[in-house]
Amino acid sequence: MSDVSTAGPYAICCSWSGGKDSCLALYRTLSAGSGSHHKPRLACLLTMFTEDGQRSRSHGLAREVIEAQAAAIGVPLLTASASWDQYESEFVQLLQAAKECGAEAAVFGDIDIPRHRAWEENVCRQASLTPMLPLWQCDRMALLEQWWDAGFEARIVVAREGVVDRGFLGRVLDRLTATELAATGIDPCGENGEFHTLVTAGPLFRQPLAFKLRDQVLKSDCWFQDVEVCTSR
């Protein structure tokens, strides 16, 4: 994985799931350049949706929720809809669209799954962008401590059936929740898909996400917490 080496500020895009890992990866990337002549600028967020364009591919979040996050951050959201078979080709086109918006690098939130990193390096190669994985091989709890210390908030919105108890749905991923998950042998970052989160507040957001928790649905061996954007908390 190479570094962007242009002089002065450079533009990045971020593969945005709506969850804590992509958010922390973005935050770390933007914070790393603070106070330097090589400070990154966020050009856009990239999110893949299901074929009907209504739910995010990774976390099953409604389009309105992802759009509300992008609005809270204050950047354009670029999206594409695809089946899993067409996912890669559509994502490459999304990266190319980000490049047309000025992006020179793409940020991803993976921590330590080699095949994910290989895939991201491959799609970035196809789009002529530099892949950036600022969370790569970092200690799980150290990442979460940085998350909490920075003032971010995320709620658990997906729980894998038979792995994570459905009772965790809707809960804030705070220190107590992370400790409870770790005590049962679950990765507190959910890197292996044990659970997924929704970022609802933090230093990247101009204002907290206003939302309501709705129904819980079992689909594809996972429990999903539906979330509705609203005008007040």
75 and 187 in one domain?
no
Distance (Å) of CA 17 to CA 21, 66, 91, 157: 8, 8, 13, 12
76 and 34 in one domain?
yes
Where among 132, 161, 181 does a domain terminate?
A: 132
In a domain, 49, yes or no: yes
Residue with tokens 């922390």: 24
Strand residue runs (E) in 139-192: 153-160
120 and 31 in one domain?
yes
59 and 22 in one domain?
yes
In a domain, 143, yes or no: no
- Would you say 152 and 72 are in contact if contact means Cβ atoms under 8 Å apart? no
Give me the pLDDT at residue 9, please: 59
Number of domains in the chain: 2
Give me the pLDDT at residue 7, please: 45
Give me the pLDDT at residue 233, please: 46
72 and 17 in one domain?
yes
Strand residue runs (E) in 50-171: 77-81, 105-107, 130-132, 153-160
Give me the pLDDT at residue 32, please: 86
In a domain, 32, yes or no: yes
61 and 25 in one domain?
yes
Give me the pLDDT at residue 38, please: 72
Give me the pLDDT at residue 4, please: 54
In a domain, 77, yes or no: yes
Give me the pLDDT at residue 5, please: 47
Question: What is the radius of gyration, based on Cα positions, of the chain?
Answer: 17
In a domain, 138, yes or no: no
Where among 132, 162, 196 does a domain terminate?
A: 132
169 and 200 in one domain?
yes
Identify the domain containing residue 218 by its residue range: 151-229
pLDDT per position in the chain (233 positions), as tens? 445 544 445 899 999 999 999 999 999 999 986 655 678 999 999 999 999 999 998 899 999 999 999 999 999 999 999 999 999 999 999 999 999 999 999 999 999 999 999 999 999 999 999 999 999 999 999 999 999 999 999 999 999 999 999 999 999 999 999 999 999 999 999 998 999 999 999 999 999 999 999 999 999 999 999 999 986 54
122 and 162 in one domain?
no
